[in-house]
Structure 1
């Protein structure tokens, strides 16, 4: 029953309810990994399916992603303990995403972030106007697999190249896959700067990440 309620709370984007339920998980000493895997993640998967079928809208997906994030924040300490004991939940990979320095546009990035979460990735969204150091520091901190850079202005596109160059300078280029996106960007630009991939859409970004983490 608790698992079904957790799933429903995510589908409904009900942050108040998920907070109550996560506290129940802690109070009742329910397996936090099972709560996440068979409750919360099932909810975000269902939400992604409904969005794909046109039965849910983007704001619903983003609310569900925010609800999942809140739940993971609450259960985080217990999840860490469980993982330390060798009990791990299934995660496709870890992605650090953000809009580059000088760019304050975030709608496209938010869509991709929400859909990546729905697709089963741990997503660390840095927000807008982020310096290249913020991406690398977070990637190192969380042991990310992918760094995703959004640029919505032609004037900020060079920041994507700077990140790739910075990784090379730090001897980290081989450690992370770098993907880019944003209105003025193209696949040719991705190839020119040495990124690992580019996508025009959120669905394409997920397929790209699936390919890069396979």
Structure 2
């Protein structure tokens, strides 16, 4: 098995204690940092698909994401000179009136593992705060808004429309238990994702 293939398997199976050493071995063997990162991103894509289809659940997904982050820590110093490896910055938050963060945290890890720099605003985020965060951070290409309660769907609508009014070209991704593709279309979002795995895929599509 090649070193990169080994890294992929370790990420997919969530072997966080072994990933860092395997990534270092792959680098020592002459593999390019970007190729190793791409392999880990592909692994998290597989994990996301398994999560979407119900083969695995939140704990397994968190374990795989932790393993990936251990690998990324080894790559960061090597890749810091190469600015082109980031797809841009994504601002994420749970909308005003909603205190749920497990889903948002999963989505944050998955979008980060797809190659974005993440700025997490936390929960109960007022609509205008998303706009401020875009202005405060460099190279923001995506805003992701999460709403987990039916009662906070109006706040999700407000968040999307506030961002779009202030920043017409900004891509906005929405998701959460009560949210549907139809609702995302209705409120003017650019993308909708039903779970963390598809959020990472959609995020890349929106900024491609």
In the superposition, the TM-score normalised over structure 2's length comes to 0.70
Match of 1:194 in 2: 188
SS of the equivalent of 1:157 reads helix
* Segment drifting more, 54-63 vs 109-118: 109-118
Q: Distance in 1 between matches of 2:192 and 2:85?
A: 28
Query: How far does residue 7 in structure 1 lie from its aligned partner after superposition?
Result: 1.3
In the aligned structure 2, how far is the partner of 1:173 from the partner of 1:22?
A: 41
Distance 1:45 1:196, change over 3 A: closer
Q: Which runs of 5+ in 1 are unaligned?
A: none
Larger RCO of the pair (alpha carbons < 8 Å, separation 6+)? 2
Change (3 A) 1:121 1:138: farther
Which of 176, 181, 197 pairs up with 1:182? 176
Give deviations 1:112-161, integer Å, cap 9, x for gaps: 4556567x453736243334465445555353433221112344334323
- For the aligned residue pairs, the C-alpha RMSD in angstroms reads 3.8
Change in Cα spacing, 1:37 to 1:121, as seen in structure 2 (3 Å) is closer
CA deviations 1:156-210 (Å, max 9, x no partner) are: 334323433443454x221x21122223445564445432244555576567546
Are 1:149 and 2:139 matched, yes or no?
A: no
Cα drift, residue 63 of structure 1: 1.8
CA deviations on 1:47-87 (whole Å, 9 max, x unpaired) are 34554665544422232123223322442232121x24xxx
Within 2, Cα distance between the matches of 1:56 and 1:205? Answer: 17
Match of 1:72 in 2: 72
Instruction: Please list every run of 5 or more consecutive structure 2 residues that lacks an aligned counterpart in the other structure.
Output: none
- Could you tell me how far apart the structure 2 residues matched to 1:200 and 1:41 are? 19
Number of equivalences: 205
> Displacement, 1:10?
0.5
Q: Distance in 2 between matches of 1:54 and 1:168?
A: 34
